[in-house]
Structure 1
């Protein structure tokens, strides 16, 4: 993509990590390592990023230079705040692109780890409007909001709220694929799929005054037919090998726990209960030697 196009920004709406898919920490670090290699420009902070604990996230974000962004979520600890920016402004051959993100508070409820270490602005309209104004103040010609909502929720938000200066909203958290970009009021909107199954490609053309004159969207299915990138392929291979080791160690540990529990049950039996347990199917005592 970068070889064929001069000005490219690579973005993600969040939920890169998945606690439910084991081994979760190794998987998360593998994804972060791959994204660092692909040089992502901005990633919206969603609930799954902090679902394995804030300490794990901050360690991983620091190690792999994750460009996290959010208009409405902040970390309580001052030392962690440098890892999460309100906006990111990229300069591309005389053009400035501003990027921010929003994730509604409802996604940080339930079993989300370390949610007490987050400051979440419930008024995402106010937070987004403020961030767009900040991007414009820094000279952004084109502004993007990475939204962690469903397709319907994101569309409704844009229809019910005016966000002056917002050029494009990209929807995450869902498997709906936009057949094309739609314009809601003054903002373009597209929705991409989840789980890295598709790459949404948005092409924007500008006139000589850096004013966008057209926007087109198409979807690229990330199938096995695409050529492998050698470094990414090696990262995935290492993940597969390490996953097997972790699974084997986990199985051994589980077996030891089961053996210990079974032995404890036997040792806790009274003599008459033990003899009864050792009776054969036909009432014969099983030899104890």
Structure 2
């Protein structure tokens, strides 16, 4: 059996929101497998939703920029938050985000784009040398509309267009531009807070849905209810998962009762024109990247009685 280290207990606690002893037990039951331990905790009702497992875990900045009817979002990582506050680093992220408006088809294309007499990748290498800390271009995405608006939003901006959560909202339509931009800002704030996983329910990742089904089945199997009731419980859990994680079916954070699809339809009616939400981007700094261990591992070891290690 794999050794259950304090570092592993700490990571599972941060990712699941469960107590330390429950995390230790989950890792023991699953042979130290992190993802299996998360699922084990969830089947016991001890962990929060799966998307909490993608919490911010790295430093750097997310940049967003809009030009006309096109927007771009870029994530650039650094080792420490100190570098993220560096003027040179911030200028680099801002310039790269602007370049992504015309070179943002892929991270490879963006890295090869001309910049400062060389390429973006050359400029990044120079930054690493002068700032003295590793940095990397992580991801880029662009959105555009034929007629309408693309609205940017940065939650708790560190500088104009830069922060730890960046959002773009693409609204296609012929309604009043000012009203569309106001709606786009509200939708962007909702997206920043609600973290949707797809635009529509049918766009949710099938592997993720299958995982949710397995968890729901495991939970329902312990209820002691007849098979037909268990099947309904599972389908109900999946319907709830889809509703809560697809943007168009989420409840608007501003009132917690109106579906996003209905918010858009109502605004289109009030504006006297068409409005359709066709795409969005939500980049949260460090999603899915493991963070370096901190001294908190020692605290976990003292409290849980497990050995400290990597």
> Which has the bigger relative contact order, CA under 8 A and spacing at least 6?
2
TM-score for the superposition, normalised by structure 1:
0.25
Q: Which structure is higher in helix share?
A: 2
